[in-house]
Amino acid sequence: MFVMATWGLNIVSIKYLTQHMDVQALAAVRIVIAFAAVTFIIKARRGRIPRLGRAELVWVALAGFLVVYAHQVALVSGLRLSSAANGTLIMATSPLLSALLAALFYRERLTPSRIAGALLGLLGVGMVVAGSGGRFGLTGWGDAIVFVAVLVFVCGGLVIQRMSRMMDPLGMLWYMYLAGGLMLVAHALLTPASYDAGMWLMSWWPWVVLLYSAVIASGVSNIVWNAGIARLGISRAALFVNWLPIFGLLFAALFLDEAVTPTHVAGLACVLGGTWLGLRRVSARS
């Protein structure tokens, strides 16, 4: 829940920061700062950056490409063409995709309760989007690109689940940010807007928001997220993604004065029920 709350606030933060920075430059700077934060956390815990073999480096580079680089680029590009309502609903398909892919690649049992939990959570997200006044249009290229963003994120989660057998979440995230960050920086360097001097002369508050987005939402939260995948598996951990638009809506209402209606409350109840239904077998074991 901590991860979803910080990611929900991060949506508001990024929306605010896009008014001050180019999107590609913003993505690169966030990951570079997050990489520095993860490095500091490792050193503060007197840990060492693990040395990886050739096979492990390949897996880390793949995870960095999928989770850090491809997901960010596809999500930003897709949301430029798609509506917010469509984009939110497509992102909420993550639990269903995770369950299906985990069953396909890791032979995890696709139980009726897990499918029902994912569908109930998706219903709740749909109610939230409808209650916020979003309009549902025909799918187009933007929707397809957002779906690719969700798909690569879920595939990256599968890679993380495999990597968790080889290394700890901190070391895993460090290498992922190193690989994906280099890709994002290269992308930003090829974007002409990154060289606009006025973009880098922001006042102090946008820099504070940027530090929160990078250090807390992208650094600390992703450490917790990777640990959650290692413990629960991607199919169960992904059920919590249904909370992302819920927290995003609540923080938008708090900071952007958007109204919260009874429809939103009903959607929240569906998300609560879906998360409980999909995770109740895990709770019974613990």
CA proximity to 39, closest of 171, 182, 181: 171
User: Do residues 87 and 103 lie in contact, with contact meaning Cβ atoms separated by under 8 Å?
Assistant: no
Q: What is the DSSP string of 179-237?
A: HHHHHHHHHHHT-GGGG-GGGG---HHHHHHHHIIIIIIIIIHHHHHHHHHHHH-HHHH
DSSP alpha helices (H): ranges in the chain?
Answer: 2-17, 23-44, 54-63, 71-81, 84-91, 94-105, 112-131, 141-163, 169-189, 204-211, 221-232, 234-237, 243-256, 262-285
Count CB atoms within 10 A of the CB of residue 114. 25
**CA 69, 78, 236 angle in degrees (round to 5)?**
65
pLDDT in tens, 180-209: 999 999 998 988 877 776 777 788 888 998
How far is residue 127's CA from residue 123's CA, in Å, rounded to a whole number? 6
Average pLDDT over residues 2-30: 79
Tell me which residue has tokens 């934060």: 37
Average pLDDT over residues 99-105: 73
Q: What's the residue count for the chain? A: 286
User: Do residues 135 and 279 lie in contact, with contact meaning Cβ atoms separated by under 8 Å?
Assistant: no
User: Do residues 143 and 82 lie in contact, with contact meaning Cβ atoms separated by under 8 Å?
Assistant: yes
Average pLDDT over residues 101-107: 73
Count CB atoms within 10 A of the CB of residue 140. 13
Q: What percent of the chain has pLDDT over 70?
A: 70
**What residues contact residue 195 under an 8 Å CB cut-off, 6+ apart?**
none
Average pLDDT over residues 231-249: 69
**CA 34, 64, 96 angle in degrees (round to 5)?**
105
Pairwise pLDDT comparison (198 vs 279), residue with the higher score: 198
Provide the pLDDT for residue 285.
43
pLDDT band at residue 79, thresholds of 50, 70 and 90?
low
User: Do residues 117 and 282 lie in contact, with contact meaning Cβ atoms separated by under 8 Å?
Assistant: no
pLDDT in tens, 128-152: 656 555 544 444 677 677 788 888 9
How far is residue 150's CA from residue 78's CA, in Å, rounded to a whole number? 11
Average pLDDT over residues 263-284: 66
